[in-house]
Chain A
Amino acid sequence: MAMERTMKSFKSGAMALALTLTPALAMTQFAPVAEAAGGKTLQTVKARGSLLCTGHDGSYLGFAEVDNKGNWKGLDIDLCRAVATAVLGDPSKVTIIPISWAQRWPALQSGEVDLVIKASGATLSRDTDLGLQFSLSYYLGTTKIMAHKELNLKSLKDADGGTICIPAGTTQQQQIASYTAKLGIKLEPVLIEKTEELEQAYFSGRCDLYTQWGPVLAIARAAKGNVEQHDILSDVLALEPEVIVMRQGDDNWVDIANWTLSALWFAEQEGITSQNVDSIRANPPSPEIGKFLGVTPGIGAGLGLSDDWAYKVIKNVGNYAEIFDRNLGAGSPYKMDREMTALWNAGGVLYPYLID
């Protein structure tokens, strides 16, 4: 009997050992997280052969959508493709990782994605508390408020006591709180995480008002098809510069994101499109364009990229105007204007860095 008990306890002990030994051993090694370590992102991406990108988990009309064939499209998605092309030379070498809004920062911090492109605003606490790093801003929009026309609102001040739909976990959540405090009015917030559900709540009349980043408001209204039934109020809550977000501590990776954006704007400024890029490359009109398109060397080495990276980006993804047009502008169902998001020479605030 005693022997029997021993055997039994031994057996269950052995099982416990088998169950726990593996992870326990693994734990004790504390191997560093390769992806998360500073200065290594580019090597990691190259070794992996694919860029892990986004922070969208569903529709964000115009910025990320899924077409009839299950492919991602949208402005943010095209920017992912542009970075992938710059780094790996092929726009298809991007893996769009769906992550929910609440997960995007932890996912970035833990190395699950290489960058987050999800119409994310640059804020102080994201920069300092969350340990994030921003690129140049690639889209400028103001946070605005849409209201049902029948309410006849002139500005938000008239809406005291009304109900407002707010995307949860975003910068708008704080902007609306401080703006209403400034006006001295009280609104009842409705916080919803998924954009689809949020817009339904507004259009069904659950909310009088809907605050969003301006472009998304205009798109939502256009997609709904009854533009005249919804007013976008004149109130501007905040200017929100949208940026590509990266982990802190990898300057090279930030440079790559910035120069990819710069390249898109430079090409637009110089009139280089995916259509004419080959002919311009064959016969560069100026030395700086020659350098830009990799005819003369120098643009890639400092970044750890090949010299024709910018050429490939323009060839495969197009310049910024082309990206905008097909996703948000004339070539899309939304017919948006560029407004602030035009180049400096067209009344906007975007500009490329100099290529010398």
Chain B
Amino acid sequence: MFALLRRQKVRNALLQIFFVGTIAAIVIGGWLNAQQTLERQRIVSGFDFLWRSTGWEGNFSLLAATPNDPYWWFFVVGLVNTLFLGVIGLLLATFVGLTVGLARISSNEVLRFLGRIYVDFFRNIPLILQVFFWYAFVTHMPAPRAAYDLGSLKISSRGIYAPVPNVQWEFLLASVVCVVAAIVVPIWLGGTRYLSRPPEQRRGLRVAACLGLLALAVLVFAAGGKAGEPLFSVPELQGLNLRGGMRISPEFSALAIAMALYGGAYIGEIVRGGFKAVGRGQIEAAESLGLTPWRIFSHVRLPLALRAMLPILANQYIWLIKATTLGITIGFTDFFMVVAITINQSGNTLEAIGILMAGFLLVNLSLGALFNHVNKAIALKGNQLRS
């Protein structure tokens, strides 16, 4: 027996079995104990509640939800809300971050100073406080009857109202595709080898392609209009509220603003770090080739900096997606809020928490995998970054 234990392979196997076993024992033991506790107190458990109707409704949802809908649908709605807020928040934060980061590496001293104050201020106050602040800020906008009127954009304590296209969705989609093509095609034309004309002489072609596609987009858009209705639905005051157009709720905008500003401060620092990581020699080489400052920036510094930023940026993005859970503090119906209300209304605590964890694991692990993939795909061969 002892001799067997001394054999390294056997011992390693035993150790591993023991380690995995204890962790499994903790999980299974906890689960069994929870079952016992629930049974003893005659608390209903199991996943049957998912098919019961909720009897309450949330205040924001991309997907329609009524009090008659079942719990599982509310979980889907909550998850979609979380993802939507996450994506918008990430985009805004990236935009703010790029601006701040570029300000911080600019040659203008006042701008650099401003960037630094921004980062120091927004990074050093907890996000939850900033969310409270922005929520108070957006809800103290004037009432709908006295909304700030910026053309057809209206800002009130009920939210921001923007005009939206009032055309059939197939046509809307087609026209969006045209607009995207108007950007992509000229770029493709600039680099493709299928044309015999040298790249320097393609400017006219590119401009023509861009304008042509934009015109097509406008045509398609106009063709999709509904009979007797304007092409844009514009918000107007009706009764107690503004009607028409698209409404961005104050809860959503407060969270999105807070995420954008707080995340922007972090991303700004990542951007700055990324640009600092681009070797001085690369820029000097580009300068000596006679490239213009804009070309140096867009063809040398940006691509290299982006590769240096990406791994850190991925972590920051996952962090921001998780920060959407703060929605519960100001009443945005995110995934966590749905789970918390479910616990209070149906009492299926363990199941609801399990669903919460599974949902976030799914989202964030796939996001992590995606970033890993992108990271590998764009990685440069050889070492071109100063470590």
A interface, CB within 8 angstroms of B: 2, 5-6, 9-10, 12-13, 16-17, 20-21, 23-24, 27-28, 30, 32-33, 36-38, 101-102, 104-106, 109-110, 125-126, 128-131, 151, 159-163, 168-170, 173-174, 177-178, 181, 188-194, 197-198, 200-201, 204-206, 208, 247-249
On whether the beta carbons of A9 and B11 are closer than 8 Å, the reply is yes
Residues of chain B within 8 A of A174, CB atoms compared: 55-56, 67, 345
Q: Is B106 an interface residue when CB atoms closer than 8 A count as contact?
A: no
The complex places the Cα of A253 from the Cα of B343 at a distance, in Å, of 25
How many residues belonging to B are interface residues under a CB distance threshold of 8 Å? Answer: 60
Residues of chain B within 8 A of A197, CB atoms compared: 132, 135, 329-331
- From 330 to 356 in chain B, residues with beta carbon under 8 angstroms from any chain A beta carbon are 330-331, 333, 337, 340-341, 343-347, 349
Residues of chain A within 8 A of B67, CB atoms compared: 174, 177-178, 181
B-side binding surface: helix, strand, loop or mixed? helix
Closest 5 CB pairs of A and B: A13-B15, A27-B29, A20-B22, A130-B347, A192-B331
Whole-angstrom distance between the Cβ of B195 and the nearest chain A Cβ: 55
On whether the beta carbons of B240 and A161 are closer than 8 Å, the reply is yes
User: Most B CB atoms within 10 A — which of A36, A38, A188?
Assistant: A188
Q: Is B269 an interface residue when CB atoms closer than 8 A count as contact?
A: no
Whole-angstrom distance between the Cβ of B32 and the nearest chain A Cβ: 7
On whether the beta carbons of A10 and B59 are closer than 8 Å, the reply is no
Q: Is B3 an interface residue when CB atoms closer than 8 A count as contact?
A: no
Having A21-B22, A178-B67, one finds 5 other A-B pairs with CB under 8 Å, namely A23-B26, A30-B32, A102-B343, A160-B239, A189-B58
On whether the beta carbons of B337 and A191 are closer than 8 Å, the reply is yes
Whole-angstrom distance between the Cβ of B237 and the nearest chain A Cβ: 11
On whether the beta carbons of A247 and B26 are closer than 8 Å, the reply is no
Residues of chain A within 8 A of B376, CB atoms compared: none
The complex places the Cα of A13 from the Cα of B363 at a distance, in Å, of 33
On whether the beta carbons of B41 and A36 are closer than 8 Å, the reply is yes
- From 301 to 331 in chain B, residues with beta carbon under 8 angstroms from any chain A beta carbon are 328-331
Contact code string B33-61 (vs A, CB < 8 Å = 1, else 0): 10011001111100001000001111100
Asked whether A131 and B15 contact (CB < 8 A) given A102-B341, A169-B345, A178-B55, the answer is no
Asked whether A27 and B33 contact (CB < 8 A) given A188-B59, A192-B330, A205-B143, the answer is yes
Contact of B344 among A16, A105, A198, A200 (CB under 8 A): A105
